[in-house]
Amino acid sequence: MIKSISKAKSLRGEIIVPGDKSISHRAVMLGGISNGTTEITGFLEAADPLSTLSCYRAMGIESKVENGKLFIFGKGIHGLQKPSSVLDAGNSGTTMRLLSGILAGQKFPTSISGDQYLNKRPMKRIIDPLTKMGAKIASTEKYTAPLNISPVEKLRAIEYELPVASAQVKSAVLLAGLYADGVTKVIESKQSRDHTERMLNLSTEEINGKNIVSVTGGMKLTAKEFIIPGDPSSAAFFVVAGLISKSSEIIIRNVGLNPTRTGFLNVLRQMGGRIRIENERVVAGEPIGDLIVTSSELKSNLILQGDIIPNIIDEIPILSIAAAHAIGSFEVRGAKDLRNKETDRIVAVCKNLRAMGLTVDEFEDGFAFDSKNKLFNNNFESFDDHRIAMAFGIASLALEGESKITNAECVNISYPNFWDTLQILQH
């Protein structure tokens, strides 16, 4: 699908973005290995979380949707059954990496694979720590999927310091730790998103500037109710849309405000973005609130690097759009992991920014550019990556003339109604 987008006169309205993708994955995974029926409100019915749900169904976990809620009928920590075929994670790296931690502790063999894009993404980052725990995982020579996971007698508890901040690796080790003897600890020098430890109510402490999360093997999980807030990564696109479009005001209700996820708000405020938070509250252990965004004259002159990168890794594409429509320079460093997403997002962002008329320097771990007074509409490639498609869809709102996004249907990975919501706001 090719999506055509013209410059918006203004954006006005009130929206609710879909449920948080990260929490949706984890709610299904934890629900399936808990005792009893888990009730999930706000589950993101998009391709990635549905891949997790499909994998669980293949292992005998039943579920149903009723009155807008998803119910997972858990069978306890040892209740999963051997699937009859290869588990299909689709395009979802979260499904493959987190589920591998759970599969490593099962008493049956499993194979998990994905689509052509997922099967190119690096899995050594989870294979290494899980192998240290005693797991048996076979992959391709390049440490990519398909992954074949064989049963072992017992996993070992370990202390593992993350080489690079990654919530997926942290979560894979913690989930495997549920099946290990003793206490498994994950140490991170830069804190990554903490949904797994919140949802499992795990012990966390800070020692010498490092964040340490612990899980005790053999703990039994009891079903609970999860109320999933709006995904801040999805909200980020409309926050930037409201800032760069003239005469605009957008209200985004019930957005998750977990401090490990809201670095993008701090960056946009540094750029002069007018963003207010109202109705702040805590629901089911997660802080949420309403965002009110008003058109702003943005100034960048920013270098994003260091501790903030893990917090904003998914928002860097849309932050680059804010900077492109701002005055000043913009540089991203220490974000090499962008090359390991659904596509190489450094390549994708640089190519599309150049198509807008910017001169962009590409580095191994980031990119840099100076803004220009005149930007151009163009045909932008999505690279079959939902965040690239959405970012340059937003960019097009502030460009003269009509722009086009190729393979725009890839937004279904995280935000199936994205283009409809964008249309509703235009006036």
Catalytic positions are 314
DSSP string, 61-97: -EEEEETTEEEEEEE-TT-----SS-EE-TT-HHHHH
The tokens of 12 are what?
């006005």
DSSP at 59: T
β-pairing verdict for 12-16 and 249-256: parallel
CB 4 within 8 A of CB 401: no
Q: Are strands 379-380 and 12-16 parallel, antiparallel or unpaired?
A: unpaired
> Of all helices (H) and strands (E), which one includes residue 334?
none
Cβ partners under 8 Å of residue 332, min gap 6: 303, 304, 305, 309, 316, 320, 366, 367, 368
Determine contact, residues 38/223, Cβ cutoff 8 Å: yes
- Please list the residues that pair with 249 across neighbouring strands: 12, 294
Q: How far apart are CA 62 and CA 75, in angstroms?
A: 9
Q: Are 176 and 104 in contact (CB under 8 A)?
A: yes
Return d(Cα 171, Cα 378) in angstroms, integer: 40
Angle at the Cα of 230 (from 385 to 256), degrees rounded to 5? Answer: 110
Task: Please report, as a single letter, which amino acid is at residue 76.
Answer: G
**What is the rounded distance in angstroms from the CA atom of residue 267 to the CA atom of residue 319?**
8
Residue 382: C-alpha distances to residues 50, 106, 364, 369, 403 (Å): 22, 38, 21, 20, 12
Tokens of 70: 């998803």
